[in-house]
Structure 1
Amino acid sequence: MKDKLRLPWPKRAALRQACTLPNLCRLFALLLVAWQPFPGEYRVPLVGSALLGLAISLRGELPAVAEPARRLGILLLCLVIPGLLSIPTSLAPSKSWGEIASVALAALAGISVLYGLRTRADHQWLQTGLVVVLAAWIGDGLLQAITGADVFGITPKAEGMINGPFSTNGIFGIILAVLTPLVLWEPLRQRQRWAIALTGGLVVTVILSGQRNNLLLLVLGLIALSTLWNKRTRLIGAATLIAAVLAIYPLAPTLQQRVGWMSTSATDMASSLQRLQDNPADTDASKQLFDSLNRFSSNRGFLIDAGLKMIHDRPLTGVGINAFRPAYPLYAQLAPHQQRSKPQHAHNIYLEVTAETGLLGLAGLLLAIGLGWRWFLLATPERQALASPYGATLFVILFPLTTHTVLFAAFYFSLLLMVLGGYLSALFSPELALIANLRESSEA
């Protein structure tokens, strides 16, 4: 019986060859995105990557990624040190320690990503894999928009807001929009015709996801991609995008509703500001201004108000890393029927980082961004070319005006980890430098 269950020798050899440590690391880097709709979501690939990172360390293979791993450690320390400093005064110490532990887990997972992306071929494999995954998601989302259910039987959670293979709203559109530069950079640069169709699918699907934040992320990604085009192509692309939005907008009722809120709220805000200019002590005008801002941001005004109060109360170290949610009721000094009693997060990366870890945390995040940009500027043109798709994606991920995402949100941090790993590997992988040196020697 055991002999029947055994694979034939050639198949076993092929399987053994496929399951090498570099191949597994590269596969789990892709799964940080691809597995998100399935049971276990981000946890499965994150824990798997962390175990692979631990194996790399125990096997003494860390020197193979020593330099990019050191740079990753520096960037994570920029986030962790302010988090540690916030714990003594944290309003939820256990949650704060848990967040520190999750960042340590992410550091191990980051080693795995770096190890799996040491050559140009590794980067090409990952980017091709992302094209396949996102193309499948786009097809699934469009099927859901047309028939009311996707291939897994998942239906939209709100009218006019498709969520593809995800059981919750929001994540689907965010991931598609955020990864637009990474997925399309090389195909568009090489003028692949199918990339135009994929771009169109991304635009349609993100609009039908029904969130203004997703549309902003998509526009940012397309702006980053426009650096590959000449002026004429940029104008054509901008006109095509505007036409697509106008054509698909009637099919997205939730998006229409939210844009309507923005229009009426902007008018009310202008009226309130005029009244306050005439009479700064007008409390009704102040309340109307806040209510208008709240409608404009889909009830995010409550979160902004509470976050700013946290910063004012504890400007240096904040209320504690990962403590925004338990701290919120203490700072949301609004009428009980208006409060969002259980917010998940502040819906903005920079507001949440500053509220939780204070000005030290904000300084750490800005320092990490500055270091990443400086390393790019100091790199060789060949390395810059390889790192550019990742850098453009990081620009979208960390854009300060997005209103839905936060840095340590589990699914979002997994995306950041994969993209950051690719970016640092492109800039600092020793094997890429060796290949470049060999190419120069052969040409000489």
Structure 2
Amino acid sequence: MTNSSPTETRLQWAPWWVLGFVALWPLPGPAEAVLSLGAVVALAVLAVHRFRGGIRLLSHEAWALTTVLFMSYWLPELISSLDAYDRPRALREALLDLRYLPFLWLVAIAVAGERGRRLTFAGLAVIASLWLLDGLVQALTGFSLGGPMSADRLSGIFGADNLKLGLVLASLAPFPLEWSARRLGLAGWVLMAAGLVVVVLLAGARAAWVTLGLVLAVSAWMQFGSRRALLLLGAGALAVATLLYACSDTLQERLQRTEAMLEGNAESLDHALSGRLPIWSTAWRMALAHPVNGVGVRGFRNAYADYADPDDPWLADRDHGAGYHAHQIVLEVLSETGFLGLFFWLGGVAIAWRAWRFAPPEARARACPPALALVATLFPLNTHLAFYSTFWGGLTLLLAALYAGSLLAGDGALARTGDDGQG
């Protein structure tokens, strides 16, 4: 019997670190501390061994793709700080976000081998399922681990002052759906999908509705085939939506607001979009006025008054926070990092797609959950949280590292020798 090498041992605890970070998302401070500490630990481990044996942790291709995806996010941030509206803050954000790179290496390492990947994906499924169960309990009783439901929507474990439950569950949905389908087949997938639909709908964020709809459509097609998936989705969506519509006045109001866009005029469209048209117009004017590198990451709120119309409703309601970011990924990138930033983002997308296109079928199969989660989260025909915020940026980069590490895991020496400590 052979002893575990240091590189093999390190891979065994990496998934637990990643899962600890995700499990703490409802507590932003501790989650950020775990992220930062994970970055330091990853750097320390690699420095002690002078990056020797790195190929045993991760393939060359996975190291490269993880780094490139980070750079496509970070370089626009750095370049935007050169003449940002709030230069000290933009530069501070760029320097602080450097910690993501070693942490993303750690995430990719966690899913580089079959054992670590199985543990990480199952752990994400369990965490999402527990949050889902907590949301269902809140829907029935009004109470959850995050406290009572004091808002007009489900808040779950995240609490009524941090209404991210629906968005997070929608982005993580591929993991519990795939996990349930593996263990219980069609019945498991349907049960999990129904729970997700109920909680995400009642959580109220219509951006999460779009994200979850994409995830369910693709997941059903991949699991059960196109015709069966369409019948399943159609029947299930009709039944759940009808039930929730009949039981929830708040959901009825949101659906009626969404239907207003069918009237075809600007006023109705703005009403359906919760007043976001002025924000998007202002973001576009910022991009045109600063086409190279934007107004600076997280500088949207500082520049808003200079580019908004005099009668912009958000100027009189600055405490609401709606004018703090563009609420749409393309406009956020353009307004805060300019067309140069958009070029880097599109370059990252192109490289990620090229890696997928040339990967063998078995690599695509193992990378499907994070790939679907990443695509649904970044889907441009939707509204979004700020991708350069700590929380949503961290979530997006985590999905990118899970994708890179799992897609390109098969070329590393560790994958060939096994990650269970046996050489």
TM-score bin, normalised by smaller chain? 0.7 to 0.9
Structure 2-normalised TM-score? 0.87
- Which secondary structure does the structure 1 equivalent of 2:149 belong to? coil
Report what 1:373 is aligned to: 353
Match for residue 292 of structure 1 among 268, 278, 285: 268
Q: Deviations over 1:184-234 (max 9, x none)?
A: 224425653434322221111111111211111110111220222223421
Does 2:252 correspond to 1:263? Answer: no
Does 2:175 correspond to 1:185? Answer: no
Kindly provide the amino acid, as one letter, of the partner of residue 287 in structure 2: I
1:140-151 aligned within 5 A: 140-151=134-145
Distance 1:354 1:103 in 2: 19
Q: Residues 126 and 375 from structure 1, CA distance in 2 versus in 1: closer, same or farther, beyond 3 angstroms?
A: same
**Residue pair 2:295, 2:336 contacting (<8 A) in 1 also:** yes
Report what 1:429 is aligned to: 409
Match for residue 239 of structure 2 among 222, 240, 243: 243
Does 2:369 correspond to 1:389? Answer: yes
- 1:356: how far off? 0.6
Report what 1:28 is aligned to: 17
Q: Residues 255 and 351 from structure 1, CA distance in 2 versus in 1: closer, same or farther, beyond 3 angstroms?
A: farther
Q: Would you say how many aligned residue pairs link Structure 1 and Structure 2?
A: 399
Q: Residues 292 and 51 from structure 1, CA distance in 2 versus in 1: closer, same or farther, beyond 3 angstroms?
A: same
Match for residue 87 of structure 1 among 62, 76, 81: 81
Q: Residues 145 and 367 from structure 1, CA distance in 2 versus in 1: closer, same or farther, beyond 3 angstroms?
A: same
Match for residue 419 of structure 1 among 380, 399, 412: 399
- 1:434: how far off? 5.7
- Which secondary structure does the structure 1 equivalent of 2:148 belong to? coil
1:12-91 aligned within 5 A: 21-38=10-27, 40=29, 42-60=31-49, 62=51, 63=54, 64-65=57-58, 67=60, 68-91=62-85
Does 2:342 correspond to 1:362? Answer: yes
Report what 1:335 is aligned to: 311
Q: Deviations over 1:124-147 (max 9, x none)?
A: 111111222112111111111111
Q: Deviations over 1:316-342 (max 9, x none)?
A: 221112211211121122326553424
Q: Residues 45 and 157 from structure 1, CA distance in 2 versus in 1: closer, same or farther, beyond 3 angstroms?
A: farther
The structure that has the greater radius of gyration is 1
Structure 2: stretches of 5+ with no match in the other structure = 1-5, 419-423
Structure 1: stretches of 5+ with no match in the other structure = 1-16, 271-288, 439-444
Kindly provide the amino acid, as one letter, of the partner of residue 370 in structure 1: A
Higher relative contact order (CA 8 A, sep 6+): 2
Report what 1:106 is aligned to: 100
Distance 1:356 1:39 in 2: 24
**Residue pair 1:28, 1:48 contacting (<8 A) in 2 also:** no
Kindly provide the amino acid, as one letter, of the partner of residue 226 in structure 2: K
Kindly provide the amino acid, as one letter, of the partner of residue 37 in structure 1: P
**Residue pair 1:118, 1:431 contacting (<8 A) in 2 also:** no
Kindly provide the amino acid, as one letter, of the partner of residue 303 in structure 1: I
Distance 2:248 2:331 in 1: 29
Distance 2:401 2:328 in 1: 23
Does 2:157 correspond to 1:165? Answer: yes
Structure 1-normalised TM-score? 0.83
Task: State the superposition RMSD in angstroms.
Answer: 2.5
State percent identity of aligned pairs: 28
